[in-house]
Structure 1
Amino acid sequence: MFFKYLKSLISDRELLIRLSINDFKAKYAGSLLGIIWAFVQPLITILVFWFVFEMGFKSAPIDNFPFILWFIPAYVPWIFFNDILMSTSNCLYEYNYLVKKVKFKVSILPIVKIISAFFVHIFFIMFIFFIYLIYGYKINIYFFQSFYYTFALIVFTIGLAWAISALSVFFKDMSQLISMILQIGFWITPIFWNSDKIEPWISKILKINPMYYIVRGYRDSFIYEIPFWHRINTSIYFWVITIILFIIGAFIFKKLRPHLADEL
């Protein structure tokens, strides 16, 4: 199913890229700084965290890395994940004029939002490279492993995006529910804290969260220099969950697709 859909995306790539670029531009159209806001807001958040924890609390290095260098590789994929889920929850409302077109392939609209968010994410991966260079760390081959985890995150979110976007049309409070879940998810995902420092049984429970795999993977790439194939058990678990969510998301979207135009 995934490869069939991938083939379909490749055939529609020109339309997909054009819609994604337009979506990216439209998101900040009318504001004074335009698309610059897409980068400024997360950068300011990172700057605040740096000032609070490095300058204010004077947080001790974690595994011999300054706190901010340990924090950013985990925070950047979370920004991407958060942006995808929040934007896809309203994407069918936003593009209702396309949903009502009989021949338009509505299933690509959540993918448009994912690609639109991806433009920002690529910038922040480069930002991580830059920050590490500023702190005196050399770029190595493991840094580029972060692109594997980016790909894993994108595939993971496709099924979720389909399910959330379709269900949002029938469940009007979906955006608020997703926002609440993301707030909880932020704190139960090891972004601020080190999973190796908590009770093993708690750590095992928290590893059920697929974002645990992604966040740790980014840190493995930029900090610990651990190849992704050394995490074979968690890799298998992550991809099994991803495939299941992909199938469920595709099923939900397919079942609700005939009724979307009427509800919108």
Structure 2
Amino acid sequence: MKSFGVSRSHSQLGQKFDVLRQLVERDMKLLYKRSVLGVAWTLINPLLQLVVFAFVFQVVLPAGIPRYASFTFTGLLVWNWFSSSLYQATGVIIANRPLIRQPGFPIAILPIVTTTTGLIHFLLALPVLIVFLLVDGIELKTVVLFLPILQVIQFVLIVCLAYLLAALNVSLRDTQHTLGVILQLLFYVTPIFYDIKNVPPTFHFFYNLNPMVHIITAYRAVLIQGTQPDWQSLLIITMIMCICLPIGVKFFQRQSDRFVEEL
């Protein structure tokens, strides 16, 4: 009897994984449908941003940051995964009306789909980032093996926020537009194209409240500096996520009963 229950749970888990895989494949195909450059668009935006920032902070207003291309490109890729996935996840329920109306469809998988799609884009861009590091003369150390841990932490962070925002956006349709403005503001108050060391100490407390500050810093420590990330700050973020994730999932599930009516 017990083995039957285990096999049944494994079967359900396998079905959800298949649904996740199919939806991610669908999103990837739709995103680059009739696109000449295809997946290259994943890199075009951060590369263009990098050119602008490199000109401003190396030519016009020198920031004095060594290996600026690698420094900024790392921050841009990490941030783009966070911001694009979160923005897409916020509107994922409204964008999938036909699926929401299907009885038995696992609605809770949709925010995970958008986050996974963002992760794939990040992984596709990672080899180009490695090339930047090598061209800058950076030797990858064994601490680069901690990279998957950072990716897991960032993945769960995005999912935590995605459940809350996706549920809110169904009832409050301005949520996605408001998020776009907030993300744009956060972009400039996150040390992506500048070093947090250049920020006056007075504002460090507020910067430390932003989890992406610690995550981007951890990526740079592992990839560029070849040192251990700040495990204490990452542990605090992980503990907060362990509390917030069940709350976000429960809120999403409670709101999901009204999704069909709201849509």
* TM-score calculated relative to the size of structure 2: 0.88
Report the equivalent of 2:48.
44
Counterpart-to-counterpart distance in 1, 2:215 and 2:13: 24
Shift of 1:219: 1.2
Aligned residues: 255
Of 23, 38, 43 in structure 1, the residue corresponding to residue 27 of structure 2 is 23
* RMSD, aligned CA: 2.3
Shift of 1:10: 5.7
* Residue identity matched to 1:59: P
Aligned 1:231-242 pairs, distance under 5 A: 231-242=230-241
Aligned 1:110-121 pairs, distance under 5 A: 110-121=111-122
Counterpart-to-counterpart distance in 1, 2:12 and 2:205: 38
* Residue identity matched to 1:142: V
Report the equivalent of 1:97.
98
- For 1:86-106, what per-residue CA distance to the aligned partner results, in whole angstroms no more than 9, with x for missing partners? 111111111111111110001
Report the equivalent of 2:5.
none
Of 40, 43, 62 in structure 2, the residue corresponding to residue 59 of structure 1 is 62
Q: Tell me whether 29-38 or 124-133 shows the greater mean CA deviation.
A: 29-38
Gaps of 5+ in 2: 1-8
Alpha-carbon distance change, 99 to 192 in structure 1, aligned in 2, over 3 angstroms:
same
Q: Would you identify which runs of 4 or more consecutive aligned residues in structure 1 move more than 4 Å?
A: 7-11
Shift of 1:8: 6.8
Gaps of 5+ in 1: none
1:181 aligns with 2:165: no
The answer as to whether partners of 2:140 and 2:226 remain within 8 angstroms in 1 is: no
Aligned 1:1-264 pairs, distance under 5 A: 12-54=16-58, 56-57=59-60, 59-62=62-65, 65-228=66-229, 231-264=230-263
Alpha-carbon distance change, 194 to 136 in structure 1, aligned in 2, over 3 angstroms:
closer
Counterpart-to-counterpart distance in 1, 2:198 and 2:209: 17
Alpha-carbon distance change, 31 to 177 in structure 1, aligned in 2, over 3 angstroms:
same
Query: Residue 105 of structure 2 aligns to a residue in which SS?
Result: coil
Counterpart-to-counterpart distance in 2, 1:29 and 1:259: 32
Alpha-carbon distance change, 39 to 246 in structure 1, aligned in 2, over 3 angstroms:
same
Alpha-carbon distance change, 193 to 39 in structure 1, aligned in 2, over 3 angstroms:
closer
Alpha-carbon distance change, 76 to 9 in structure 1, aligned in 2, over 3 angstroms:
farther
Query: Residue 107 of structure 2 aligns to a residue in which SS?
Result: coil
Alpha-carbon distance change, 68 to 36 in structure 1, aligned in 2, over 3 angstroms:
closer
The answer as to whether partners of 2:150 and 2:219 remain within 8 angstroms in 1 is: yes
The answer as to whether partners of 1:159 and 1:245 remain within 8 angstroms in 2 is: yes
Alpha-carbon distance change, 67 to 38 in structure 1, aligned in 2, over 3 angstroms:
closer
